[in-house]
Structure 1
Amino acid sequence: MDNKDKEKEHEQTASGRNPDVNDVEEEEEDEDGNKRAVVLGPQVPLKEQLELDKDDESLRRWKEQLLGQVDTEQLGETAEPEVKVLNLTILSPERPDLVLPIPFVPDEKGYAFALKDGSPYSFRFNFVVSNNIVSGLKYTNTVWKTGVRVENQKVMLGTFSPQLEPYTYEGEEETTPAGMFARGSYSAKLKFVDDDGKCYLEMSYYFEIRKEWPAIQ
């Protein structure tokens, strides 16, 4: 196999396409506006990709450099990645960390949690990726008060390989709004999606902003 053939094989295996399966063609325009054919093969499971050419030392090192340390125990037989959001932790220097499993379990008033007005806080998520690499994972958190949208947060988390150990993301510290008019009930929707638009979590919930932190149970 000459260098050009090996480079071509690198491109095919790294893209998640099986070089032994007949490819399909799509068209895209170049810089001059001319259409050209782009060869796209069917996506195959990452586990199968890692097995391809495993006896070729140069290809194996190249894949390791591209993919990083992939936990093969987390690789399934499907090409679709899976993301499971495990919990949300509310962090504040004013109180102990509050770990909330997902989906949230509301209290007797229907609230998932309560925050103190005018207080610093941040959120931390733990999530697990399995089966395949998830590309461009991001989350949105939209908040309403009395039907009026007051926040629409969009955060890009990045691209993650499958592994047994959960990933952790901690957001920047913020401060809850203060004052009598800021207190009360809020509704929100949390959503995790990837670059392909696949949704891994979509959850509506309610929370409350109070004058004081709730009692520690």
Structure 2
Amino acid sequence: MSSSNDRVPDEELRPTETKGYKVGEKKSVAEYSQLDANDESLNRWKASLGITGEGGSAGDPSKPKLSLHSLALESTSAPGGKVQLDLSNLTQVQLDEVKKSPLTIKEGVEYNVAISFTVGQEVLSGLKYIHVVKRAGVTVDKLEQMIGSYGPREEPYVKRFATEEAPSGMLARSGNNTVRSRVIDDDNNVYADFTWVFKIAKEW
């Protein structure tokens, strides 16, 4: 079982600041659609966000800005290619249950974290995924990866992050790892924040 010492404090989830980097001005879908209509590279970027010269997809103000649907640990050796945590419409009670049901990773395998999400209202730019892993009260890993910029659409986006290698050995298999994950943007707006648990085993 994970202990109370495995709680990840907010300060450990702060993104790394890039010296000299200035956060750009946020714009609505309509404002983006009117930007430099004759700039071909900008038009390709806007098209990748689902924005067209006619105003594009304005999004639905009744929907959350970002909805996280799942987190998966993907590996070619895993049954079905991945083990997955369903995060759709979870209540606090269900989130607490997630902490009691560790995902299992086979020791020594290469895997990557992947998240599935939808954007509901407006273009979200500078999104990052950060997670901190604690074991027996000690921070053992931190992952910080760019997600990028995404516009509103019904179909979920899937973002896969850098490949990692699961630890091996009896010590690695002897306890659970508690992970606090967060999706954040350049302005430090938090769109998702949840805790989950995984364990290392001899087999999936």
Alignment TM-score, normalising by the size of structure 2? 0.67
In the alignment, what sits opposite 2:3?
none
Deviation at 1:61? 5.5
SS at match of 1:173: strand
Going by fraction, where is strand more abundant, 1 or 2? 1
State the distance in 2 between where 1:108 and 1:83 align.
20
Find 1:160's aligned residue among 135, 150, 156: 150
- CA pair 67-118 structure 1, distance change in 2 beyond 3 A: same
- CA pair 81-101 structure 1, distance change in 2 beyond 3 A: closer
In structure 2, list runs of 5 or more residues that go unmatched.
Answer: 1-24
Matches within 5 A, 1:172-191: 172-183=162-173, 184-191=175-182
On the 8 A contact 1:81/1:134 being kept in 2, the answer is no
In the alignment, what sits opposite 1:114?
104
Deviation at 1:129? 1.2
- CA pair 107-178 structure 1, distance change in 2 beyond 3 A: farther
SS at match of 2:70: strand
1:67 aligns with 2:39: no
CA deviation profile, 1:155-193 (whole Å, cap 9, x unmatched): 111111222222111122221000011112111100000
1:86 aligns with 2:89: no
- CA pair 88-74 structure 1, distance change in 2 beyond 3 A: farther
In the alignment, what sits opposite 2:123?
133
State the distance in 1 between where 2:98 and 2:37 align.
55
CA deviation profile, 1:95-147 (whole Å, cap 9, x unmatched): 22223211576779813311111122222211111211111000101001100
State the distance in 2 between where 1:84 and 1:113 align.
21
State the distance in 1 between where 2:179 and 2:33 align.
44
Matches within 5 A, 1:1-217: 45-47=28-30, 49=31, 65=43, 67-68=46-47, 69-70=50-51, 72-73=56-57, 75-77=59-61, 82-95=65-78, 96=80, 97-102=82-87, 103=90, 110-183=100-173, 184-213=175-204
Alignment TM-score, normalising by the size of structure 1? 0.64
State the distance in 2 between where 1:51 and 1:181 align.
54
- CA pair 177-76 structure 1, distance change in 2 beyond 3 A: same
State the distance in 2 between where 1:88 and 1:168 align.
10
Any runs of at least 4 consecutive aligned residues in structure 1 with deviations exceeding 6 A, and if so which? 104-109
Give identity over the alignment, percent: 25
Rg larger for: 1
State the distance in 2 between where 1:108 and 1:167 align.
23
In the alignment, what sits opposite 1:20?
none
Deviation at 1:91? 1.5
In structure 1, list runs of 5 or more residues that go unmatched.
Answer: 1-40, 53-57
User: Highest relative contact order (Cα 8 Å, sep 6+), 1 or 2?
Assistant: 2
In the alignment, what sits opposite 2:22?
none
Cα-Cα RMSD = 3.3
SS at match of 2:162: coil
Q: Which amino acid aligns with 1:204?
A: T
